[in-house]
């Protein structure tokens, strides 16, 4: 079987470099192309050298359009506007995508869903096995503990992160809201300040910490009178996200169209 050719968008970024490394460490995939933002000082650099894995003979280019013949699946961990521009190019060229970017608005999410009618897309706010298992544990905890507990979602990330709450925290909120038959848009409370009044049971609270070099930590509290369950995940290396994304790229390589997430890739959907 021939190797799946991967393109990494934003290959000079924190995740981009980890993704290039993960591609070199995985079987059945090879780096075909790498991009960076137009005007970046990194353009022309070898993607492997940038990632610290030695030269790969793939240099960073500014325009994905110029390397469309060099890859089968694009892995994109950049920013919403960049990902949506890449989405249009991939849709036009029939290229599959793995999207890890977070912070999309409703229109952005709708654009991804529409493109998935033509191409295969894995779109997930967190590609780690541990977090995707955590989603399952949260579903169980919410169903068991029900309306007897207060639910709070606390997340911490490095000081460079630009969106809040994290995509993972929001997905955790969706999981528990869905398990409890609540609409997250109606019950979410994003931070508190001043005279807030007593807490309403049905609300789901989000607290955000941005500090230092924290890779990514999420903790969900189910707090009752007399006891509290905490379900937590801590990432200590970006390679956990990167290797998950490369696994997703191999998986989507066999699917022509449709939108999927890591629950599908990991076979967790029906657990
Ligand atoms: N799903 C998951 O498992 C995970 C998701 N993420 C998400 O991934 C995204 C990126 O995170 P992170 O790597 O920390 O961020 P970085 O800012 O380090 O990386 C993003 C990179 O994309 C580049 N970029 C911006 N626009 C373009 C463009 N048009 N073409 C090509 N490259 C472009 C940026 O360049 P420049 O800096 O010059 O603008 C930067 O190098 C975030 O949304 C984050 O939340 C992160 C970790 C895990
Ligand atoms: O920006 C990050 O770093 C991360 N972003 C993702 C998110 O928003 O959930 C996933 C991970 O926690 C790291």
Which token pair is 7?
A: 């393109």
Pocket test for ligand 1, best of 8, 36, 266 (most atoms within 8 A of CB): 36
Q: What is the pLDDT of residues 53-102, one digit of tens each?
A: 999 999 999 999 999 999 999 999 999 999 999 999 999 999 999 999 99
Prediction ipTM score = 0.99
- Nearest atom, ligand 1, residue 42 CA: 38
- Report if residue 112 sits inside a domain: yes
Count of domains in the chain? 2
Q: Are residues 133 and 102 in the same domain?
A: no
**Residue 271 in domain:** no
- Residue 270 has a pLDDT of 86
Tokens 């207060």 locate to 150
How far out from the chain centre does Cα 221 lie? 22
Is the CB of 126 inside a 6 Å radius of any atom of ligand 2?
Answer: yes
Find the 99 Cα to ligand 2 centroid distance in Å: 12
In a domain, 34, yes or no: yes
Residue 113: alpha-carbon gap to chain centroid: 15
Q: Please check whether residues 106 and 145 belong to one and the same domain.
A: no
Q: Please tell me the predicted confidence (pLDDT) of residue 77.
A: 98
Amino acid 148: pLDDT: 95
- pLDDT tens per residue across span 212-264: 999 999 999 999 999 999 999 999 999 999 999 999 999 999 899 999 999 99
Average pLDDT on 45-53 reads 98
pLDDT digits (tens, 9 = 90+) for 88-141: 999 999 999 999 999 999 999 999 999 999 999 999 999 999 999 999 999 999
Going by DSSP bridges, is the β-strand pair 73-76/228-235 parallel, antiparallel, or unpaired? unpaired
Residue 98 is assigned to a structural domain of this protein: yes
Same structural domain, 75 and 156:
no
Domain shared by 87 and 165, yes or no: no
Q: Which atom of ligand 1 lies at the shortest distance from residue 161's CA?
A: 14
Q: Judge whether 64 lies within some domain.
A: yes
pLDDT of the residue at 271: 83
Residue 125 Cβ inside 6 Å of ligand 2? The answer reads yes
Spacing, Cα 237 to ligand 1 middle (Å): 16
Residue 240 near ligand 2, beta carbon < 6 Å: no
**Is the model's pLDDT at 1 over the cut of 90?**
no
d(CA 182, CA 100): 26
Average pLDDT rounded to a whole number, residues 191-208: 97
Query: Measuring from atom 1 of ligand 2, which residue has the nearest CA?
Result: 161
Residue 215: give its domain's CATH number: 3.30.360.10
**Token pair of 87 as six digits:** 């989405």
Give the domain range for residue 176. Answer: 129-235
């Amino acid at each position: 079987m021939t190797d799946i050719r991967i393109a990494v968008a934003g290959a000079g970024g924190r995740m981009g470099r980890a993704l290039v490394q993960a591609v070199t460490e995985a079987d059945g995939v090879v780096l075909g192309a790498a991009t960076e933002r137009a005007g970046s000082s990194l353009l022309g650099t070898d993607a492997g050298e940038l990632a610290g894995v030695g030269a790969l003979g793939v240099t960073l280019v500014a325009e994905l359009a110029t390397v469309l013949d060099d890859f089968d699946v694009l892995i994109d961990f950049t920013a919403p506007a960049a990902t949506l521009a890449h989405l249009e190019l991939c849709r036009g060229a029939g290229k599959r995508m793995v999207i890890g970017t977070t912070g999309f608005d409703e229109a952005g999410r709708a654009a991804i869903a529409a493109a998935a009618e033509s191409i295969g897309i894995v779109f997930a706010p967190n590609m780690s096995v541990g977090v995707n298992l955590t989603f399952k544990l949260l579903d169980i905890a919410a169903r068991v503990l029900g309306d007897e507990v207060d639910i709070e979602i606390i997340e911490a990330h490095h000081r460079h992160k630009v969106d809040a709450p994290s995509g993972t925290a929001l997905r955790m909120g969706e999981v528990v809201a869905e398990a409890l038959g609540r609409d997250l848009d109606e019950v979410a409370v994003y931070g508190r300040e001043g005279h807030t009044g007593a807490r309403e049971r049905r609300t789901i609270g989000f607290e955000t910490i941005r500090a230092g070099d924290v890779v990514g930590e999420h903790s969900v509290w189910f707090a009752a009178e007399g006891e509290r369950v905490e379900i937590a995940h801590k990432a200590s290396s970006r390679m956990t996200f990167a290797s998950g994304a490369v696994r997703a790229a191999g998986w989507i390589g066999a699917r022509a169209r449709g939108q999927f997430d890591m629950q599908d890739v990991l076979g967790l959907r029906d657990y």
